[in-house]
Amino acid sequence: MEKLIERFLHYVKIETTSNENSKDCPSTSGQIEFQNMLADELRSIGMHDVEIDLNGYLMATLPANTDKQVPAIGFIAHVDTSPDFTGRNVSPQIHVYKGKSIVLNAKKNINLTAKEFPVLANYLNHEIITSDGQTLLGADDKAGIAEIVTAMEFLIKNPGIKHGTIKVAFTPDEEIGRGADHFDVQKFGVDFAYTLDGGGIGELEFENFNAASARISIQGLNVHPGTAKNRMKNSMRIGMELNSMIPNNERPEYTDGYEGFYHLTEFNGSVDFTKLSYIIRDHDKQEFTRKKELMIKIVDHLNIKYGAGTVKLTMFDQYYNMREKLEPVMFIVELAQKAMNAVGVTPRIKPIRGGTDGSKLSFMGIPCPNIFTGGINFHSRYEFIPTQSMKKAVDVIVKIAELNAL
């Protein structure tokens, strides 16, 4: 346990924020520096075939120690942290939650409270780790990395626990949607895998959103407002009109569970020219298609109203619901459930209201459910992780390896 926490506290201090505006892979130099450090660590604990490829993907192998023919399994986490909030100069703090507000930063009056985040009440008298409130913590996904490395070290030091071949992979740029883009499936060579990239203890996920991106440009006509009657086309107002035509109850702030949404992520413009960006999400394939078709109809309507070519839409699919690929091999999910139950964790199967490397990997040929790391409030200054949840994640990894070899 001490080594696990020591690793995590060290990892989060390394800046690895990804950058969606970069064309490089990894998108930032800090990620490859972190990968190099992790490669050295994996070699030092006794992992085999440790290698970082030209795209910054780190893979390593723990050879089987059983003569039984059992499936090769993988455990995957990502090294980057979200660009949604700064990950520079992370200063982790350890607290024991006693039911009162946790002071993250006294000078700036930044506190973590159960009133704002009711989930905190589940961890009364637990030891939790936070940042100092000025950065995210980085448990997404450095907790997953620390848990995988610690589990591998435990298996190496305890050869009495029989297991088949285990592969680990640490990927770059997951937070900007590129985590699986250059993943060498053939080289990884597993029958199935698990991403360690989930949230609170017990989370087990085998379905996620279908996802699309919609980028809209609106060409207006800017003339002097004093002589604008029947001439001016204010592109910002057309953009506002477009947004008003999207069903109000299909926005993120009004949806939950399996409900999908349209999410306006960018609106920049002037009278002459405006840009809007949306992400479109739904678990159900038919509803996903309906949402995309509605966006096309809205754009077509506005072009009839304001003139052909006024509104231009570029829309493309980003990823799909991995449930399609996992339903035929549900024993993988059941294996994780059994492992959780065996170590005293209650499985909480729920849909991911987002994406995961496991989604793309499942469609690339590696069925890949997602397992909890223990972290809460990802991408936020209020991110925290209970140390006991991290320990349980290590136990689950070890137990999956053990049960897979029975």
Give me the catalytic one of 15, 41, 80, 207: 80
Which of 4, 10, 70, 73 is closest to 37 using CA atoms? 10
- The strand ranges marked E within 44-200 are 48-52, 58-62, 73-78, 93-96, 102-105, 110-112, 127-130, 166-171, 192-198
CB atoms near residue 244 (< 10 Å): 9
The strand pair at 127-130 and 203-205 is best described as: unpaired
Which of 396, 399, 387, 301 is closest to 6 using CA atoms? 387
Amino acid at 133: G
State the burial class of residue 247 (Cβ atoms within 10 Å of its Cβ: 0-12, 13-18, 19+).
exposed
Does residue 80 have an active-site annotation? yes
Which of 56, 55, 64, 24 is closest to 39 using CA atoms? 56
Give me the catalytic one of 132, 140, 153, 174: 174
**Could you please report the per-residue DSSP string of 279-319?**
EEEESSHHHHHHHHHHHHHHHHHHHHHH-TTSEEEEEEEEE
- The answer to whether the beta carbons of residues 336 and 368 sit under 8 Å apart is no
Residues serving a catalytic function are 80, 174
